């Protein structure tokens, strides 16, 4: 099981969640952040600090954002398990679902 970052993070990525994660498993894509499904230990520390409520436990992801579960998982399909977001640094790509979104702004 894992926590999942959803659409509200896109073009926001203020990174408040990164400071809370005890295992450094929240990775930075180009337009949003992604939680590594195998490295996440389900502690829940990131969820309450997100200012836009983008983070959900996987069973609690709203239906309209269900596709973001796969977006978080598939983002790592060619990266494997890097074992730490800080040392990995910014990953200059996004899942196609995210890359196809128009620019997101306040209130969207």
Q: Which listed range, 33-41, 73-81, 85-93, 99-107, lies at the site for ligand SF4 (CB under 6 A)? A: 33-41
What's 26's DSSP letter? E
Q: Which listed range, 42-50, 59-67, 70-78, 85-93, lies at the site for ligand SF4 (CB under 6 A)? A: 42-50
Q: What is the DSSP string of 7-42?
A: GGGTTT---HHHHH-TT--EEE-SSSEEE-TTT---
Task: Answer for the pair 3, 57: CB distance below 8 angstroms, yes or no.
Answer: yes
Contact residue for ligand SF4 among 1, 14, 19, 38 (CB under 6 A): 14
* Cα angle 36-42-46, degrees, rounded to a multiple of 5: 80
Q: Give the nearest distance from C-beta 85 to ligand SF4 in angstroms.
A: 10
Binding interface with ligand SF4 (CB under 6 A): 3, 5, 9, 12-17, 20-21, 23, 25-26, 33, 35, 40-46, 50, 52, 54-55
């Amino acid at each position: 099981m894992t926590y999942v970052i959803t659409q509200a993070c896109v073009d926001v990525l203020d990174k408040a969640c990164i400071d809370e994660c005890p295992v450094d498993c929240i990775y930075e894509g180009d337009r949003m952040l992604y939680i590594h499904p195998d490295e996440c230990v389900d502690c829940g520390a990131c969820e309450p600090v997100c200012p836009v409520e983008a983070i959900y436990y996987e069973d609690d992801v709203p239906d309209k954002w269900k596709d973001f579960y796969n977006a978080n998982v598939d983002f790592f399909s060619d990266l494997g398990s890097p074992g730490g977001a800080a040392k990995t640094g910014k990953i200059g790509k996004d899942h196609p679902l995210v890359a196809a979104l128009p620019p997101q702004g306040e209130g969207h």
